[in-house]
Amino acid sequence: MNAIDIKDVKVGYTKRTVIDELSVTIPENKITTIIGPNGCGKSTLIKTIARILKAEEGAIYLDGTSIQKMDTREIAKQMAILPQSADSPAGLSVFELVSYGRFPYRRRMGSMTAEDYEYINWAIEVTGLQSFRDRPISEMSGGQRQRVWIAMSLAQGTEILVLDEPTTYLDLAHQLDVLMLLDKLNKLEKRTIVMVLHDLNHASRFSDYMIAMREGEIITDGPPEEVMTKDNLRDIFNIEADLTDCPYSGNPVYLSYHLSGSDDHLPSRNDDREVM
Amino acid sequence: MTTSGKDNKRDKEAVKAVSKTARPVRGIFIIIGGLVFLGIAFMVSISLGAADIDLQTVWTALTGFDPAVSQHQIIWELRFPRIIGAALVGAAFSIAGALMQGMTRNPLADSGLLGLNAGAIFMLAISFAFFPGLPYVYVVLMSFAGAALGAVIVYGIGSLSRNGLTPIRLVLAGAAVTALLTALSQGIALYFNVGQDIAFWYAGGVSSTRWSHLAVITPVLLLMVIASLAISRSITILSLGEEVAVGLGERTMRTKLISGVIIVVLAGLAVSVVGAVSFVGLIVPHLTRKLVGYDYRWIIPVSAIVGAMLVVVADLLARTLNAPYEIPIGALISLVGVPFFLYLARKGGKEI
C-alpha cells in the first residue's frame, strides 16, 4: 500500500523550476528518507508533499485523492508536518503548544474534549515530556524543543508524519534521540514517516526506504542496501565512500570518504605526528 | 486512538494542569477590573479639565441632564464624547496592533510604525484639500483607504528586499514611507491652505470628538471587534508560524486577508478620530501577552480594554498636566512608546 503518491509534479519559485515531472511513492507504515546534496530539491519536494508549496503541474495523492481537491483541515487529520524552522512564541508552555495539535478537530467555540486531552497526554508521555508539561518552551534545550514539536504533531493523531530535517542544529546525542523516537513511533504505532535528513548514516540506519535526489531529479529510490552503494553515492554526492554495515541496523553506512576524482590523499594525521 | 491511559484520574490531573498554565481566569479578572477602572476614569476625566466640575454635578448631568445648566452642556457636548472617543481609539489601535503582531509574528508591528497612520492622514489631507465639507462618513472611508495605501506601500517596499521581510526592515520601510506621506500631506495642506485642519491630526487629540462622529465609528468598531474575535483562534495558530499553521489545517491566506481588512479599518477609524498616534498598538499587545499569555481569544479583548484605559488616562493627563493648554496626546504616548520600542528592538524581535 502507498501512503502518498507523487505524480508528475512540477514545482518552483517565481522564476526557477526546482523539480519537474517528478514521480515517486511513499510506502505506508514505513520510514522514508529523502537524501541528496544541497540545492537538490529535497526540501522543495517535502514542502510540496506538505502542501506548503503548491505543485504547478501534477498532483500529490493521499490515499488516492489529490490533496488539492481535499479540505486542508481534512488533510491535517491525516498528515502532520514539522517544518524545518519551527519556532514557537517564547512564553508558551509545553502543554499549550502540544494542545494546538488538536486544532484540526476543534469546533468554532468549543473547548477541548476528553478525547483531545487523551491525545495530548499521550503525545506528551510518548515523547517523554511529562515532567516538562508546564515548562515554558523558551527555557528548554534544542533537543527538548524538537521533542515538543514532535509531540504537537503526534497530538494531531495522524497516520502520516512529515518532517523537514528534524535533526538539524542538534548535537549527536540529541539527533539520535529524535531518530530513535521516530523509529519507536513507526515500530509501535505503525506511523508512516517521511523526512529529509542530511546525515547519510542516520538515513540508512533508520529508514526502510530511501529516495536519493540530485539536481531536482530522483537518482534512485529503494531500501537502504540498494541506495547506499558506492556507485550511487558517487553519482549523488560526487564522493568515494568506504562502506560497511551498521552494527545496529545492518544497513550500509560509510566509515569515511573522499571527493571523487581527487586521488591526492593528504597524509594521515597520525603519520604527521610520528614524523615530528 | 492506539495507546493511552484512559483513566479518569489522569484526565482530571490534565485539566488541573491546564488551569495552571492557561490564563482565562486572569483574563476575565482584567476585563471586569478594566471596565470598572474605565468607569471611574470616565467620571474623573469628565470632572477634570479646563473648567473643573465636581463629581456631584457630573453625576446629575449623567442621570438627569438639564440643558439650562452650562456645565451639563460642557459634559454632554464636549467631555463625554471625547472620553468615549479616547476609549474607542485606544481599543481600535490595540486590536489592530495585536492582529498585526500575531499575524506577521513581528513584535515591532504597530499601525503607526508601519505607515498605516501616515497613509490615513495623507488621504485625510487630500479629502480636506479637494473635497472640503465632505460628510464624516466619507472622511472615515478615506481614512480606511489611506491606511490600506500605507500598508501596501510599506509591505511592497519591504518585500522587495532580497532577504525577505524582517521586523526591523519593515519598521525602516514604515519610517521612510511615513516621512514621505507626511511630507506630501504637509505639502497639500500648505498649498491648499488647509493646514489648520490637518495640524491637529499630526499631533493627535480627541478634543474635537462629537456625538455625530461616535455615531459613525462605534458600530464599525463593534463589528470589527466581533470579526477579530471570530478569527482570534486562527491568529493564534498563525502566530506559531506560517508553515506550522498550514500543517495544522489553517486556511492561512483567508485568515490573513480578513485580518488585513480588519487592521486597515481599525487603524483608519482610529486615525480619523485622534490623528496619527503611534505606539498604542505596539505597547498594549505586549503588555497583554505578559498578562494573559499567547491565546488571541484572550489577547484581543484584553488588549481592547487595556488600550482604552491607556488612551483615556493619556487624554486626562494631556488636558490636566498643563491646563488650560492641551499637550498633544501623541507626544505624551510617545514618551512611553519610544523607550519601549527601543527595548523591543534591542531584543532583536525574539519576543513573539
Grouped pLDDT means (10 residues each) for chain B, 352 residues: 42 44 75 92 82 80 81 83 93 96 88 93 90 88 95 88 74 92 90 75 74 91 96 93 93 93 95 90 93 91 95 91 82 91 75 52
Q: Are residues A102 and A227 in the same domain?
A: no
Mind listing the pLDDT tens digit for each residue in B245-299? 999 999 999 999 999 999 999 999 999 998 888 999 999 999 999 888 888 999 9
Mutation choice for B interface testing from A15, A92, A149, A165 by most B CBs within 10 A: A92
B12 assigned to some structural domain: no
B51 assigned to some structural domain: no
Do A90 and B17 make contact, defined as CB atoms within 8 angstroms? no
Mind listing the pLDDT tens digit for each residue in A230-259? 999 999 999 999 999 999 999 999 999 988
Short-list B150, B135, B132, CA closest to B268? B150
B6 assigned to some structural domain: no
Whether B265 contacts B324, CB under 8 Å? no
ipTM of the complex: 0.89
B5 assigned to some structural domain: no
Asked if B10 is an interface residue toward chain A (Cβ–Cβ < 8 A), one would say yes
**Count of domains observed in chain B:** 1
Percent of chain A's residues with pLDDT above 70: 93
Mind listing the pLDDT tens digit for each residue in A159-184? 999 999 999 888 898 899 899 999 99
Q: Backbone dihedral region of B106: left (phi > 0), alpha (psi from -120 to 50 degrees) or beta?
A: beta
Q: Are residues A128 and A63 in the same domain?
A: no
Nearest-Å Rg of the Cα atoms of chain A is 20
More confident residue, A60 or A90: A60
Mind listing the pLDDT tens digit for each residue in A94-141? 999 999 999 999 865 567 888 999 999 999 998 999 999 999 888 888
Burial-class residue B261 by CB neighbours within 10 Å (0-12, 13-18, 19+).
Answer: middle
Phi, psi of A58 (to 5 degrees): 75, -175
Q: Are residues A105 and A214 in the same domain?
A: no
Q: Are residues A142 and A6 in the same domain?
A: no
Residue with cell string 498528515: A79
Asked if B222 is an interface residue toward chain A (Cβ–Cβ < 8 A), one would say no
- Domain containing residue A29: 2-73+160-237
> A199 CA to chain B: closest CA distance, Å?
24
Q: Are residues A85 and A57 in the same domain?
A: no
CA distance A32 to A222: 9
- CATH code of residue B98: 1.10.3470.10
> A38 CA to chain B: closest CA distance, Å?
19
Can you give the pLDDT at residue A108? 58
B193 assigned to some structural domain: yes
- Domain containing residue B212: 70-346
A248 assigned to some structural domain: no
Helix H or strand E segment including A245: strand A239-245
Q: Helix B136-160 crosses helix B116-130 at what angle (to 10 degrees)?
A: 140
Do A121 and B4 make contact, defined as CB atoms within 8 angstroms? yes
